[in-house]
Structure 1
Amino acid sequence: MQNHLKQKLQLYTAADFIEQRWKNGRGSTLELAKGSDYAPADVHSWRFSIATLSENGSYSNFAGYQRTQVMLEGDTVQLDFAGAKKIQLHKLTQASFRGDQAVSCSLATTRTATMLNLMTASNYLQHRLEVVSHCGPLVDLSSKVDLLFVYALQEGLTVQVAGHCVRMKSGQLLKIDRVTQSKISLSVSAGKLPDTALAIIIKLFRDH
């Protein structure tokens, strides 16, 4: 892989993940990656983590951040926004909300739920998430997208970036700089299983 392209790609694997206690002390989360892109060095402008929900409870306060959760595994989880509204999450559905909102969760069954969490600092970055179920080129990668992430949902996912291939395992995260985003496609080496998702595509962008 050419050096200039290698500098635009970063693959986060299990060796990079760090387990951390929740701010409210009621559990722990697996931090996948975080960074300070487009923000001061002491500010985390983005952060990915995996949380396992095993009981009902309240979410921690992350004022100044926008949050999105995607359910990876589990039965129905209901998010209650202090009685103002309620959102039910099912597998591979998502909910977005401000980090300072009062949110509590209720599990429909005793089965634990696994959530992919993304937080971006509202003063520096915004984000959008999309679950992708098809192989081929990624579309709608406009010049306004500053950073692109791919979270693999299947073993053997291959991300082709500007003619170079990055092989991923399920649960790994790939960061791609916007310079290379116009030539990105997905494939699965062993063949895609029917009715299954390939990856979660995350777009981070500044207010231009």
Structure 2
Amino acid sequence: MVLPTQHLLLIPGRSLHSSPWKNGGGSTREIMIYPEQSDVQHFDWRVSIAAVEQEGNFSQFPDVDRHIMLLSGTSMVLHSDTTQHTLLPYQPYSFPGEASIYATLPHGSTTDFNLMVRRDRAQGTLQAWTEPYSGLLEAGHTLLHCAVGAHEIILGHASHRLEAGDTLWIRQPHEHQQVLKVQPQSTGNCLVYTHIHSLT
């Protein structure tokens, strides 16, 4: 993906390509990786959606902070050597990428949203928005992923409509300030808000 010279890009859900895992346990659709032309071993940050079909080990990513949020399915249980955490829909969870994690699926297959950030280069946050929002856009990289329903995104004088599966990427320079407004277009909507602040 070649990033535009301007600071905004709409990524339609239908344009995402699914890559099956080597172990056959699921597949991943990459939304964006930065810098562009990076791979899964060399990136500052990466945003993707994973379809998990069977239980198994998570891939380990040393020096990477991982943030995950369940988008569909009832639950996923993450087991490590010291803890156990149950993922529920739209509740983000963070853990170090070098941790040894085994995932079980008590109620069948799931879909999850993933943010991976190399901790010496950037910091990231993940939230689920279900209500209208209005506020100043933070400097750095922002991705708005429409998980359920449809949303109108108003940035400055421009308006963008996101359907389920679409993502809007915005890069906000530190010297600029814009107001971001989010308007759900019906009830039962969910927008995944991702923000990445570069440290370098």
Superposition TM-score, scaled by structure 1 size = 0.82
Structure 1 CA distance, aligned partners of 2:50 and 2:62?
A: 19
* Structure-to-structure mapping, 1:169-208, within 5 angstroms: 169-179=163-173, 182-188=178-184, 191-193=185-187, 196-207=188-199
Q: Answer whether contact 2:25 2:52 (CA < 8 A) is retained.
A: no
- Post-superposition offset of 1:197: 3.9
- Post-superposition offset of 1:23: 5.9
Render the CA deviation track for 1:109-153: whole Å, top value 9, x for unaligned.
Answer: 2x21111111112221110111111113146x44xx411110112
Identical pairs, percent: 21
Structure 1 CA distance, aligned partners of 2:126 and 2:101?
A: 20
Unaligned runs of 5+ in 1: none
* Bigger Cα displacement from structure 2, 154-163 vs 166-175: 154-163
Paired AA for residue 119 in structure 1: M
Q: Which position in structure 2 is the counterpart of 1:85?
A: 83
Paired AA for residue 45 in structure 1: D
Unaligned runs of 5+ in 2: none
* Structure-to-structure mapping, 1:56-95, within 5 angstroms: 56-82=55-81, 84-95=82-93
Q: Which position in structure 2 is the counterpart of 1:119?
A: 116
- Post-superposition offset of 1:11: 1.1
Task: Call closer, same or farther: CA 1:199–1:36 in 2, change over 3 Å.
Answer: same
Runs of 4+ with >4 A deviation: none
- Post-superposition offset of 1:206: 2.6
Structure 1 CA distance, aligned partners of 2:166 and 2:148?
A: 10
More strand by share: 2
* Bigger Cα displacement from structure 2, 66-75 vs 5-14: 5-14
Aligned to 2:148, the other structure's residue is in SS state coil
Q: Which position in structure 1 is the counterpart of 2:126?
A: 129
Structure 2 CA distance, aligned partners of 1:207 and 1:6?
A: 21
- Post-superposition offset of 1:24: 5.2
Structure 2 CA distance, aligned partners of 1:207 and 1:45?
A: 10
Render the CA deviation track for 1:34-71: whole Å, top value 9, x for unaligned.
Answer: 1217xx96742121111112221110111222111100
Task: Call closer, same or farther: CA 1:112–1:68 in 2, change over 3 Å.
Answer: same
Q: Answer whether contact 2:58 2:102 (CA < 8 A) is retained.
A: yes
Paired AA for residue 165 in structure 1: S
* Residue 33 of structure 2 is aligned to residue 53 of structure 1: no
- Post-superposition offset of 1:107: 1.1
Structure 1 CA distance, aligned partners of 2:5 and 2:129?
A: 24
Superposition TM-score, scaled by structure 2 size = 0.85
* Bigger Cα displacement from structure 2, 21-30 vs 172-181: 21-30
Aligned to 1:100, the other structure's residue is in SS state coil
